[in-house]
Every structure is written in C-alpha cells, then in structure tokens.
Structure 1
C-alpha cells in the first residue's frame, strides 16, 4: 500500500475526548454568578478522591452527583454548564466515605460513561491532580490559593498566577511495508501486556519529531512518513495524548532495555491468534492505544488489561 493512498481518517469518539458541557470560561471570574449557581439546588457537584468518583452501576453506569448543599468544602471548581443552564462543579473529599456506594476511576469506567459524565470526570480528575500537586508557588515556594473558579492558583506572597498543567505526549502505531504493526512492552508490565509506543514531547520539539525520536529510542526502528489521527486527554496525571500512524523505513528491532524491554512485529492474524490464546493482552478500551491498534486491525480484538 502506498503511503499517500493509506487510510488517514481521524479517530472519532475517543472515550475520554467526549463532553457535552460548555466550559463558560468567561464566567470563572464572576464571583456573583458563581455564588448564584452554587446556591441553586439544581446545580450538581462531582466529588473526587485520588482520581476516583462515586458511580451508580445499576443499569448504564453513571456518575453519582450531589447538590451543592451536600458539599462541605471551601474549594470547588466550576466545570461548566449544560444546554439547560445547569451548572456543574467538582470538589475534593478526603476519602470515599463522603458518598456511600461504589467509587471508580476513569480507566475502569471511562469507556462506558455517557458524553456528559465522561467530560465531567476527565476535567474533574485532571484539575484535582493539578491542585494536589501544586500547593506552593514555583517562584518563591510560598503557599498558593485557588482562584478563578478553580482554574488558577495565586501565590499569597508575590501574587503570581499559575495555570493547570498539560503535558503533550505522542502515541503511535507503526507499520512496516508488509503492514505489520509494531507493539512493545514496558518492563513493569505483565509479560502478556503489549501496546503502541509512546512518549512525551520534549521542550523545543514538534510532535512529529517526538514520534520519530521516541520510536527510534525505544525500538531502534526508523520512521519517516506519519499521519496525525486525533487526541484525547489522559489525566494520569496530566497528559494530552496525540495519536499517530507511522510508516517504518527499517524493521530491525533493538529495544532500549530500560522503558521498553520487548518489541515485536505482528501481522493481523498473528495478533488475533495471540489475543485469543491469552498470550497478548491489549490496553483497555478507554485508551487511544487500543483505538490505534483496532483501527489498523479493522475490528475489535479480544483481551484487555487494566493498569494496577
């Protein structure tokens, strides 16, 4: 298949890229509007604890939201407003006893939540991770306080403003001239876990250059042509995954032995047979890695793993 005739269609409906809320950034500094919405019994709050949120699992899984009056917290984040005008917030709780029932994380439930709920939970977890990791000013070390409806932290000493962090990372399905896919395994994973290659974009580097560098560093394989396919947030703790399909110009595999300890070329039949036999397990449906692999394969594959 010639590179320029290959399928370059974008990935659609990525699990964690869905949302139905308007983020209403223009309202984040409007204290009166926020106070009015917080006092509205129709407003809803998502509680989060260590990356998890309360869920209702009877029937279609959905988030268990509470009214503002049921929340005991001075630090809340405005997540957005839906088409009916209902405002949604999130707040951190110290433990999951604040709401009875089951709590779950995005890896477990993200692919099965509806568009509204997954958008709420992705934003809430990402912002909660950021607030937890940045209690102090990066300039002087003094404490910071939440501002602008939870989207800014301000140093109490020098007044400097600090904004949520997002780390761009590339993730790529590499194929060779025989249309085999290159999958790798990290040393900390179980022996059957394989996925696409990925890595962070370095300062001063384009995403495309990062794809070529990461593939070469991790597997020894060189790639030239590549195509961008889509992105989704990955708040573990703060990544934005940029998905690519790339065409290899070499096939000799030499893993780095540090992050990647094994990498293999798979034909479609080899991968399907290995998945059915349990010899290979692929990333969960919530991941862009899974979508990249199944896009290449042409349909769903059996087998799944959830990172501990």
Structure 2
C-alpha cells in the first residue's frame, strides 16, 4: 500500500537515540539542556496546547508542574532538543470530571501551574489534529506508561521490578531478570466480498458505532492465519486470500495494529455473542452514506483509527 505510513501515528522519523538509554550521565545532560522539553500526562491524558488542542503541551524539564513526578521517560531527540515524558497522576484537582473512566471521556482538566490554553485531554478526541511528530511522541509515551502501570512485578519470581534504561526496561532486583516494553500484535481486517465490507460492533461501544473486525495474534500464528481465525470466530465468515496493507501503533493499551485486506469466501454471518454484539455486510454505496453522515443506522469508524483509514481508502480505490 503506497500510502501505508500516512495513517495516524504512522511515525515522524523521531531519532529515538536508543544508544543513550543505558547511559545515565548522557540522559542527565540532556535533561539539563535548556532546549529539552517534557511531555506531561495525567491519568492517561496528554497535556495539549492551543485553542484547537492540536499540539503537544511541552514544558521545560524544570517546570513547577512536574513537582513530585517520578523520573521521566526518554523519548528521543527532536530537531529542537531532547524529549521526555512525565506522569503527574499523583496530582489531585479540586474536582474530577463525571465522565472519567468512560469509553471516551470528552472532559478537559487544567492544572493551576500552567497558563491558559493548556489542558489534559483524551487523545482519541484530537489525534487527527496533531502533527506527525507530536503524535509519535504522545503515542510512544502513553504506551510506555501503560506498560509500566501493568508490569510492576517480575514475571519470573514475582518480586517488584524497577525502571531502568531511561524508562525502556524494568529490572528485578531479586532474580536479575530484565523486562522490556510489551507490544501486542493485533490484526484488524477489511473483509470484502464483491461490493460489500464486513462491519462489526462490540458490546459497550457508543450507540450505532461499527468498525472492522479485529483480534490478537496468537503464539505460533502468522498474521494471515490470525485474520482468517478471528473473522471465523467472531462472525462465522470464511476468508481466502489475505493481504497486508498498513500498521498503526495503538496505545489502548499497548497494541500494534496490522491492517489487512481479506476476501471472504462466504456470505452467511453467525456471530459469537461472547466476541461481538453484531456484524453485517455493508455495501460501498451504504458506506459512502455513512462517511457522509447520511446514515441513521451506523456511525463511521473514528477518524484517526486505522479502521477509518482502511475503509476510506477502500471507498476511493486506493488500497494498491
């Protein structure tokens, strides 16, 4: 697919400078550099700037908002200087939004140490507005923070592990086992049959929201086999030829989405209610109405998600 890397979070060429991660003196020098900046997170929400919330809210590494934060994660070297990520989830605002914890939380939270125009905001609501560089920084930091939150203990002996290598490793002080950030491979499938595309809906999704079927790749399984297995398990549809199209890092919580195109060899749908709530075939003409906002029965996949990217390029015959 010629435009594969145009997908949101497709990468910006950030120099991750992995060779510096195990050099504490070098990291300290970078932190002290006046050009260094920190990307701030609060309870899973990145700090954003601008009236349209279209830029990462980068702050100096000695900014008061970072008081009490743990050691930062080193993200890499931007053309303007080193970039780090901080988590200030310990901060307690005067009031918490009622929407916290929902599938999509539209609330904004402002910190008193920051000026106007700086708010913590749900990434999914603004991801298409960000520059490629800001998007790569944010998605990298969010995935790392998610991993650290859920991997605090050694998988070998159960002892508590400690963050090392500027945030890119955890070491167990009891058995010396090293642990590295986890990325879960997920296939997401544009399954077509003639002029139709297969759409599915998971329980708990917003009303009328449908998307492409998706599922985790299992150990010992190819991407192509995972596509065929997941589609059959969820919708009872058999798939023949499978082609890889594009990938997308997706920090919910730590996935790498492999976008694939598969040709169905059967029409009949038999859903597994333990997997999905509904599935149906949608014609190209119907999907064009969905994307145009003219459908009362379905909402388009969220802009910025690889599902939206794949469907849109299918509609405009740009999957080559």
TM over 0.5: yes
Which segments of 5 or more consecutive residues in structure 2 lack a partner in the other structure? 92-108
| Deviation for aligned residue 1:291 | 0.8
Aligned length in residues: 291
CA distance in 1 between counterparts of 2:167 and 2:286 reads 49
**TM-score in terms of structure 1 length:** 0.89
After TM superposition, where is structure 1 displaced by more than 6 Å over at least 4 residues in a row?
none
SS of 1:17's equivalent?
coil
Q: Give RMSD over aligned pairs.
A: 1.9
Which residue does 1:260 correspond to in 2?
276
Q: Relative to 1, partners in 2 of residues 1:286 and 1:99: Cα closer, same or farther, differing over 3 Å?
A: farther
- Cα separation, 1, equivalents of 2:52 and 2:304: 19
Q: Deviations over 1:220-246 (max 9, x none)?
A: 111110110010111111010000011
Q: Which SS does the other structure have where 2:59 is aligned?
A: coil
Q: Cα distance 1:119–1:231, how it changes in 2: closer, same or farther (>3 A)?
A: same
Of the candidates 255, 258, 274, which is equivalent to residue 242 of structure 1?
Answer: 258
Structure 2 counterpart of 1:271: 287
Distance apart, 1:19 and its partner CA: 2.3
Q: CA deviation at 1:267?
A: 1.1
TM-score relative to the length of structure 2 = 0.86
Task: Determine the structure 2 residue equivalent to 1:39.
Answer: 32
8 Å contact from structure 1 (residues 48, 128) kept in 2: no
Distance 2:180 2:5 in 1: 29
Q: 1:12 to 1:140 in 2, by over 3 A?
A: closer
Q: Unmatched 5+ residue regions in structure 1?
A: 1-7, 300-308
* CA 90–172 in structure 1, closer or farther in 2 if over 3 Å, else same: same
Deviates more, 1:132-141 or 1:193-202: 132-141
Alpha-carbon distance change, 191 to 64 in structure 1, aligned in 2, over 3 angstroms: closer
1:80 alignment partner, one of 68, 73, 76: 76
CA distance in 2, matches of 1:200, 1:137: 24
Distance 1:20 1:98, change over 3 A: farther
Q: Deviations over 1:188-247 (max 9, x none)?
A: 224411110100001111111000000011111111101100101111110100000111
